[in-house]
Structure formats: C-alpha cells, structure tokens
Amino acid sequence: MRLRETLLGLLGVSGDTGRGFTDADIELIQALADQAALGIANARAYDELQVSNVQLLRHEKLVAMGRLTSSLAHELRNPLQNVVGLTSELMERARGALREHPEFTDFPEYLKRAHCEAKRAAEIVDRLLDHVRERTLTLEIVDVCRVVDDAVALVRASAEDCGAEITVLTTEASILVRADAIMLRQVLLNLVNNAIDALAGPGRIVVRARTERNGIGSAHAVVSVSDTGRGVPAEHLPRIFDPFFTTKDIGQGVGLGLAICQSFVEQHGGTIRAQSPGVGQGTTVEFELPIAA
C-alpha cells in the first residue's frame, strides 16, 4: 500500500482454492491496496486538521486572555504595591504608638494580616505578568541535572517539614541543553512545589532526568516530577495547563503555575504533558527539551 513514494503498509492475500492468482486477480488486489492507502492518508489528514483546529482555537483564546490579563495586571500592580508599602509603614508605626491605647491593641495584628493579603495579591499579579509577557530568552548551555539539584535543594527543607520525601534520579552525570537557566529553574520549582501541595502531608516525590532518542536519532532531555498525592480526575487532565484552572482548594492556588511552566517550556521549543491514573493515585508531569548540539 503506497501513497506516492511512501510505503504505508503491506496487504497480504491468500486463497484456499489452490489455484494461482491471475493477472486480473492481482490488478484487483492492487486496486484494493491503493484504495486502502488512500483511506489511511485521508484519515491522517483529517486527524491532523482536527489537531490544527484545536491548537488554533487554543492559541486565539490564550492571545485574547493574554491581552486582557496583561492590561488588568498592569493597572493593578502599582496600586497593590502602594498598599503593600503603606501597610508596612503603618505596621512599623503601630508597634510603639498604639501601646498606650488598650482599645487599639489588636490593630497591629489586623495590619499584619492586611499586609500579608496585599502582598499575596501583588504576587498573583506578578505571576500573571510572567505568564502573559514574552521574556527575552538568555540562552546558554545548561546542565539539566545541575538545575534539578539546585531546584530541589531550595525546597527540600520545607518539603521535609511537611513529611514529603524527595528523591532525585538521573541516568547521566550531565545532560546539556540550550536554555535560559532562570526560566528552567522556575519550571522545576513550580512542578516540585505543586507536587508538595498535592501530597498535603507525608508522601513521596521522585524527580527524574534522562536522555531519550527518537526514531530518527535526535535526542531530548526529559525531566519528570512524580508524586504519590491526590491525583487528577481524568476529565480534568485536558485542562490542567489552562490558565486559572486548578484542582486545589480555594485560597491555595490560582491555577497559573502549570500554565507558566507550559509557556516557558514551549518558548524553548519543548513540550510538557501530565498524566495521572486517577484520584488518590498521584500525578506525573513531564517535559522535554532538545539536547544541545
């Protein structure tokens, strides 16, 4: 079964009559093979068209959302930073000035809470801006294994305080890619922190880094972060990288961590995916980047 010069497959034909195939039989069989090849080609073209349409719609949605969130974030950023600064100043003044007024003794605590909430809102706006704006990549040769070790070292202490055990497994001493080291470390930190949140207590996190080659010989660095946490329902997996989609409880996340990871990875020419056997069975998020030539 051929389509132009491409061999799609082989069609085997046999008979029980014991007679040899005639030229007419062979022509008929070849016609069937040609029709089968055409059917396969049409099916592939239809599938590629469907995928392209989905990607186009996703791109248009993200562009529109990006413009909206960028405008809102820029408008909100300065007022929120002002609120953070003003409440910080009030906290400093309240420590001494209000001691002589018993009716105001709880004011410092209220100011502290207001400061924390304003700071949290400002951080959300900053993450929004990180997601929608295209950063200029500072590409250099980066050792993925080193980035993994550095990222895990930053969160290991807090993870252990929560009862989480983090294991790092690498198949090579070093895996080199061309990447922005800061952005790559941010991806690892987001994924590991997500895994810690998914455990919500004791559990295990495994970070793996390896090299994989495809059928035509090109190599990719593959990094995966697996946890034994709450898992993701099958119906939520297709949306897990959408901005503002989160499976966390209200107040524990705004659904931007994985969206930012996807944006950073795709800017490097890589891909990212997530899989989970189901609720209570953990989650694995894996991304790959081209190996440095």
pLDDT given for residue 53 in this prediction: 67
Strand boundaries in 144-282, DSSP class E: 164-170, 176-179, 203-213, 219-227, 271-275
> What pLDDT digit, counting tens, does each position of 56-78 carry?
666 666 656 666 666 666 677 77
> What pLDDT digit, counting tens, does each position of 252-272 carry?
555 677 888 888 898 888 999
pLDDT given for residue 148 in this prediction: 94
> What pLDDT digit, counting tens, does each position of 140-150 carry?
999 999 999 99
pTM: predicted TM-score of the whole model, two decimal places: 0.59
**Mean pLDDT throughout 81-102?**
75
Nearest Cα residue to 232 out of 172, 273, 270, 262: 273
Element (H, E) at 56: helix 23-97
**Mean pLDDT throughout 94-113?**
71
Q: Binning pLDDT at 50, 70 and 90, where does residue 28 land?
A: confident
pLDDT given for residue 184 in this prediction: 92
Sign of CA dihedral 18, 19, 25, 30: positive
Q: Which residues, including other chains, have CB under 8 Å from residue 292's CB and lie 6 or more apart? A: 141, 176, 177, 178
Nearest Cα residue to 131 out of 76, 60, 67, 193: 67
Kindly report the average pLDDT of the chain as a whole number: 81
- Answer for the pair 138, 172: CB distance below 8 angstroms, yes or no: no
